[in-house]
Amino acid sequence: MLPPVLVTASIALVTSFWKLTEALACCTTEATMYCAYSVLMKRQASPGAIGPSVLSRVVAPNVIGKPIWNARCHILDAHLHAVPIGVVGELCIGGTPVARGYLNDPALTARKFVPDSFGHDGAGSLYRTGDLAYYLPDGNIAFLGRMDQQIKVRGVRIEPQGVEAALNSHPEVAESLVRGVEDPEGKKHLVAYVAVAQQADDAGEPALAKRLRTHLERTLPRFMVPGSFVLLDRLPRTSRGKLDVAALPLPDLERAHSRASFVAPRNEVEEALAQIWKRVLHLERIGIHDDFLTRGGDSLSATHMVAQVNRAFGVALSLRAFFDDPTIASLAALLSENISSSA
């Protein structure tokens, strides 16, 4: 038990700090309640201002901070190997705060508490949180969501919370929800349901959807950008205030790809490529600026498509070069460069 004097001093210190900041503790019962800490906001007075100070946010909303002094937070891959800074992995906790396991549940304990190969003596345990996160260059940890909420689209696992966080950072978005929706052929498409903010500049569906897509393409890998955007006044909720997923409207996936942005092939090369794409993707119409992935393609169909293109044009394009910008317009330009260089 702590001496009364030390308890009183500790409370006074925490209270005075809390008046100056708003803080976040990353909590998990399996690691004695909290293992990471971050200052979210600081109370600052504007220069020359009269009146109370204001709170200013100093970190992004999804930042959960740095490990406390006696804890270690690791971002690991599926083989429990550390991943580089900026790479997404599972958040695993080591150090003194980690519990021994679950009472009377040895099977769950064995799954969630694994040997800590990063410890000094190798005798401790790592707790596998099941949370997706990544380290920022400044040593803070950014949280993306739960591993069990991943969506598998076109053979790739996507964390919808990461896409939602990027969408919610746009000033015209009040709230968002990202789901995997199947079309009549059973192919799953990534769909973003967006509650439009009141201060949206132009809430017209095509214009706003284009701005949101551009925003996501600047911040996310291409495979994480939804192919369809459903714009709503608000997201549906149950009487208890929870998101009502069953009440979400079904997107018109075909209409999403056949708007005024459609541009037909302009020359023989683009026409030949369009015919190959339509065969591979089983589509009746394809525009030269349509993204191969958002039109239902995946890595396997892309391999077949590139092989057909190489045979038809007598070239040796790589799959990696195609994925840099998977559109017919870009592929046609790439073919022209390849043919010119080999002439």
Residue 252 CA from chain centroid, whole number? 23
| Amino acid sitting at position 43 | R
pTM above 0.75, yes or no: no
Q: What is the layout of strands, in order, in the sheet containing 173-182?
A: 173-182, 188-196, 228-232
Give the model's confidence band at 42: pLDDT under 50 very low, under 70 low, under 90 confident, else very high: low
Domain boundaries of the chain, sorted by first residue: 22-146, 158-256, 268-342
Taking domain 158-256, whether its CATH number is 3.10.180.10 is answered by no
Class for domain 268-342, per CATH?
mainly alpha
Distance CA 212, CA 170 (A): 8
Question: Under a CB-based contact definition with an 8 Å cutoff, are residues 73 and 98 in contact?
Answer: no
Residue 15 predicted with pLDDT over 50? no
Q: CA neighbours within 13 Å on the CB side: how many for 175?
A: 8
CATH of 22-146, one of 3.55.40.20, 2.30.38.10, 3.40.50.720, 2.40.50.140: 2.30.38.10
Q: What is the mean pLDDT of residues 237-258?
A: 78
Task: Answer left, alpha or beta for residue 10, where phi above 0 means left and psi between -120 and 50 means alpha.
Answer: alpha
Select from 142, 140, 144, 143 the least CA-distant residue to 66. 140
Question: pLDDT of 298-341, one tens digit each?
Answer: 777 888 999 999 999 988 888 888 877 788 998 998 888 777 66
